[in-house]
A and B are shown apart, each in its own frame.
Chain A
């Protein structure tokens, strides 16, 4: 179920709640609760957009194996049946990540074996057709590695902790990404220093207030806070 844009929307960068929590884990027990268990177990995930519900499943056994392959399924809102819609043309043994927003779904292929960067695929028709895109870097090994804002701005969390942004879907398709933040810079910031930032596990493009951002950054989140909620484009389950 998508939520409508809030009145005072500002597309911002929500810093890796869970990743920050990992950095601040020693401080409170609450933070440990917010750690995204899905990351350690499997990259399988699901999300809901206006078009339907999406699920990514890892097939073949352990998530760590290159012999696995990942599949994207969709249950379209109007049919209620699950369909296999994994984008074609790229081996997905490294894993799939997905983010919904602005009426589209962006899928990122994690690098595997000899492939060092992350091809993307975007669909605006619930996976019937896909447009190729390019991120000339390796997506992080986390379900929240991609985020799409309501304007189509796409964020990508890279393996090295950098967050890159593509202003539009076309830019994402053409591989026009610009660095937005780095782990080093965030760790050097006041909130980063105060909680001993060690890593990031998700990016998020969402309407978010400055205050709540700081709360997340410092890990002082209330119990039960979901670490990887999607923005207006969708909600992660």
Chain B
């Protein structure tokens, strides 16, 4: 599913940064435009008019619980969006985040996540940028849209995107994997965003009574109780600080977290807690189980006083877990969110506020809430929606294309060299025994590379990339010759080129030529094109550099690039084919 490239690959990082800057500039222009629009509207309407929103006099009061959910999760989405802008995200999310999280889940989860990861790895720049702007947009939308349909829609958007992230980014929060624990973020931080989004999407009138609060707290009560049972369940390793000289489940997790890149004092803090948990594993788990059970019970009672105590102790408990076990959740360069504790605090605090609505909230007439919508906020919400579209549109457009972005090939091969040199001539024998010279190919673009017919690694992959290039070129393929020259001093007869063609399914490709010749003929071609070929000592393949050249119809070399397939994943293969296809079209235009 992955691109196989390093997340820190400078080409990917630079392209990601460039995409973010471009889209950020467009977002800024949109913001300026909206400001101008708003200023113009204010000039035309009398000051203080409730419709303009210039004053807050007519604005209805929003329930405190809803306000907390809306602004809290709005800020969280924006924070997550900023985290998505980290340089390693574009190249690393699929390989370093999605794939490892899914690895311990059942096969069907891995299959589903792999599908998403492949889609990401085909277009890592667009996908990375889309994640940034969608999350920033949703967060902004939640914050600026206080009332009315716009606000409720923001909640619905939060639910939709949250579910996507929960499934693909968190592999369903790991609920199908072993080792599930509230301490480490079960059942997935983003699932809490989803719940919050659903609550925001409720009609505003629902918040004037304590029922939503009771429901939220009851749900959380059941959740905490279930997590307490899970935590107490024997045989999962949480009761042991260590087992057989190895760290127990919790101390092992904390030790692993301590190893992530982060400031030294944080890793020391975690290491210290890991040692403590190793020594007092039973006691630590007992405290966790009791705390979870107590919070669950308190929330289930629905009594404001008990809930208040549970809320404050829950805040302290969650913050302790956030620091000592979850390690803040977002460190290390590939953290996508602050994990589950902060969203959980916001959620149960909102539940408490909803349980005890302020007097003025209960008195606010529902009709007034719906009727007096400040237009400024609607405009701002529309702006936030535009930001979401700003990120989503390029990704949607890219996703329609079933081939990978050429940026992957460029990242592997380095930038190709544009040339305008006469291609050295040759006269060799094709796989069918016919003589083929470069001159005989005049009038066509020649995509030429050097392949070892008994190669066990790169050459078959490069051949497939060329074959796919031919398919991508469609009708233009008739003006393009896909040419490979044998790159093995020993295994070079036409018997081998034919065997290679059969192996790679190239026998039916009409514009495929696999050329060979005597050692002196091949040596001359290798020398003229700068390809070093030699037999290596026993047990190794013949060595040769992976090189491809694009020769235009006039016989001039237009591009020279490394054809090293790199990690040779599905996406990088596709990417190379796209890149070669682009060069072929370019050479056709230049002729």
Contact = CB atoms under 8 A, between A and B. Distances in A.
Interface string A85-119: 11111111110000000000000010111111101
A237 interface: no
Contact of A132 (B493, B502, B538, B539): B493
A87 B490 CA distance: 10
B538 A86 contact: yes
A128 to B, nearest CB: 13
Contacts of A93: 456, 539
A90 B491 contact: yes
Nearest to B489: A89
A136 B540 contact: no
Interface centre among A111, A115, A132, A136 (most CB of B within 10 A): A115
Given A88-B540, A90-B541, 11 more contacts: A71-B539, A85-B538, A91-B456, A91-B457, A91-B539, A111-B456, A114-B455, A115-B460, A132-B491, A136-B495, A174-B493
A89 B490 contact: yes
B537 interface: yes
Contacts of B454: 89-91, 109, 115, 119
Interface in B480-521: 488-491, 493, 495-496, 498-499, 502-503
7 contacts: A69-B540, A72-B538, A90-B541, A91-B454, A91-B541, A115-B456, A115-B503
Contact of B461 (A69, A70, A90, A114): A114
B542 interface: yes
A198 B96 CA distance: 45
B457 A114 contact: yes
A26 interface: no
A178 interface: no
B591 interface: no
Contact of B499 (A85, A91, A130, A134): A134
A-B pairs with lowest CB-CB distance, top 5: A86-B538, A89-B490, A69-B539, A114-B460, A88-B535
B472 to A, nearest CB: 22
Given A88-B535, A88-B538, A116 B493 contact: no
Interface residues of B, number: 26
B287 interface: no
A117 B491 contact: no
B536 interface: yes
A94 B455 CA distance: 12
A167 interface: no
Contacts of A52: none
Nearest to A68: B539
Interface of B: 454-457, 459-461, 488-491, 493, 495-496, 498-499, 502-503, 535-542
Contacts of B495: 134, 136, 174-175
Contacts of B499: 117, 134, 136, 175
Nearest to B460: A114
A84 interface: yes
A58 to B, nearest CB: 10
A178 to B, nearest CB: 15
Interface centre among B498, B503, B536, B538 (most CB of A within 10 A): B538
Interface residues of A, number: 31
A229 to B, nearest CB: 28
Interface in A41-75: 59, 69-72
A132 B498 CA distance: 15
A89 B538 contact: no
Given A113-B456, A114-B457, A119-B454, A89 B539 contact: no
A90 B495 CA distance: 15
A132 B490 contact: yes
Nearest to B461: A114
Contact of B536 (A88, A114, A117, A175): A88
Given A132-B490, A175-B499, A89 B542 contact: yes
Nearest to A136: B499
Interface centre among B459, B493, B499, B535 (most CB of A within 10 A): B499
A92 B491 CA distance: 14
A147 to B, nearest CB: 21
B134 to A, nearest CB: 39
Contacts of A111: 456
Contact of B539 (A92, A114, A130, A174): A92
A64 to B, nearest CB: 16
Contacts of B459: 114
Interface centre among B496, B498, B536 (most CB of A within 10 A): B496
Nearest to A88: B535
Interface in A134-181: 134, 136, 174-175
A117 B503 contact: yes
Contacts of B502: 136
Contacts of A70: 539
Given A71-B538, A88-B538, A136-B502, A113 B457 contact: yes
